[in-house]
């Protein structure tokens, strides 16, 4: 991953060191390390308006890159494909990604939470159609301006909003947080529900509910992306036994079984997404460290046996 930082470079250096071993961050346009000029032909607005890579960033095929603006309150992602075509993932795309992921985790908790996405009239029409028809997430439209977006987002248990320029966040109601914590303590709560609740509570800690923190937004996006594995065709994976057993491709379930037995209370399964060209990986173990490592190992097997694209998942040591 490559991150373009401007006036916030010192803070991101601290973050990079703290995340060593979990997330690799390469910084550019930092005169101190001699990789481009600070604040020159770069940043979120430059990338969005010019539809091109910032000055000072090496152009690598399918390398995931992101840029923030000078005060780090806006975030956009982008990459260039094998045909040298530039692809921008602006705020609308980030909002769609976040809504898809949060909807899935909320469903896994078994808790009734009102999830909604807020947009303005300037949002991409295709994103609105996908969110309402495919994800079936309610979309509210408000007047332009963060104050209007934020105010409407507060009417949901989980409110998501991002302007096209990458300025946005996710907000959680007090009632939603209390429901999550109380349900996790309930003896009738299953292990799957507890895992999903823990995941959602951790996400709440990652997210800055005060709008304008592109760094926490970046961590949110990376968390979501690292929980998924891309394939040429996710439908090569088929499942049985209520999606707990992988029937195809041949040999994948045997590989998963061999990985699971290495871990105390290990459990894992995979399934193709019903809405996106991705494969979802679920893993459990007695400790968080083991669960994360098991998930990464299973993801790597999916990548190897099901036609994964891009860079293979990294397995923590």
pLDDT at residue number 181: 95
pLDDT tops 60 at residue 35 = no
Q: Express each pLDDT in 213-270 by its tens digit.
A: 999 999 999 998 887 766 557 778 999 988 889 999 999 999 999 999 999 999 999 9
Q: Express each pLDDT in 266-285 by its tens digit.
A: 999 998 876 666 788 889 99
CB 94 within 8 A of CB 131: no
pLDDT tops 60 at residue 1 = no
Right CATH for 92-225 from 3.40.1620, 3.30.310, 3.40.120, 3.30.300? 3.40.120
Assign domain 228-305 to its CATH superfamily: Alpha-D-phosphohexomutase, C-terminal domain (3.30.310.50)
Per residue, the 3-state secondary structure of 31-90, as one string, reads CCCCCCCCCCCCCHHHHHHHCCCCCCCCCCECCCEEEECCCCCCEEEEEECCCCCEEEEC
| Domain limits, the chain | 2-89, 92-225, 228-305
DSSP-based three-state secondary structure for 215: helix
CB 51 within 8 A of CB 86: yes
Burial class (CB within 10 angstroms; exposed 0-12, middle 13-18, buried 19+) of 211: buried
**What are the tokens at 314?**
């990294």
Calculate the alpha carbon distances from 278 to 176, 216, 225, 302 in Å.
Answer: 28, 24, 10, 11
- 1 contact partners, CB below 8 Å, separation of at least 6: 23, 24, 25, 26, 63, 64, 65, 66, 222
User: Residue 246's closest CA among 277, 195, 282?
Assistant: 282
pLDDT at residue number 36: 58
Q: Express each pLDDT in 60-99 by its tens digit.
A: 887 889 999 888 899 999 988 878 899 999 999 999 999 9
DSSP-based three-state secondary structure for 161: strand
Mean pLDDT score across all residues of the chain: 87
């Amino acid at each position: 991953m490559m991150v373009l930082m401007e006036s916030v470079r010192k803070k991101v250096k601290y973050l990079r060191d703290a995340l060593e071993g979990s997330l690799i961050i390469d910084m550019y346009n930092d005169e101190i390390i001699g990789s481009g000029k600070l604040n020159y032909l770069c940043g979120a607005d430059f990338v969005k308006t010019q539809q091109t890579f910032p000055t000072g960033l090496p152009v690598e095929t399918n390398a995931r890159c992101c840029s923030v603006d000078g005060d780090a309150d806006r975030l956009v992602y982008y990459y260039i494909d094998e045909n040298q075509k530039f692809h921008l993932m602006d705020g609308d795309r980030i909002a769609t990604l976040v809504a898809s992921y949060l909807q899935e985790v909320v469903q896994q908790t078994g808790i009734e939470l009102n999830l909604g996405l807020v947009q303005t009239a300037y949002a991409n029409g295709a994103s609105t159609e996908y969110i309402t028809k495919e994800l079936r997430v309610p979309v509210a439209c408000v007047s332009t301006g963060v104050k209007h977006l934020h105010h409407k987002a507060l009417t949901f248990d989980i409110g998501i909003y991002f302007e096209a320029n990458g300025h946005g966040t996710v907000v959680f109601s007090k009632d939603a947080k209390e429901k999550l914590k109380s349900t996790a303590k309930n003896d009738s709560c299953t292990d799957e529900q507890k895992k999903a609740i823990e995941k959602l509570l951790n996400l709440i800690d990652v997210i800055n509910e005060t709008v304008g923190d592109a760094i926490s937004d970046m961590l949110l996006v990376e968390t979501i992306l690292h929980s998924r594995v891309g394939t040429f065709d996710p439908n090569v994976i088929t499942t049985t036994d209520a999606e707990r057993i992988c029937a195809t491709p041949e040999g994948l379930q045997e590989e998963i079984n061999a990985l699971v037995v290495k871990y105390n209370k290990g459990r894992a399964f995979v399934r193709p997404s019903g809405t996106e060209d991705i494969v979802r990986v679920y893993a459990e173990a007695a400790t968080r460290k083991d669960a994360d490592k098991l998930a990464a190992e299973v993801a790597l097997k999916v990548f190897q046996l099901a036609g994964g694209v891009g860079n293979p998942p990294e397995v923590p040591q």
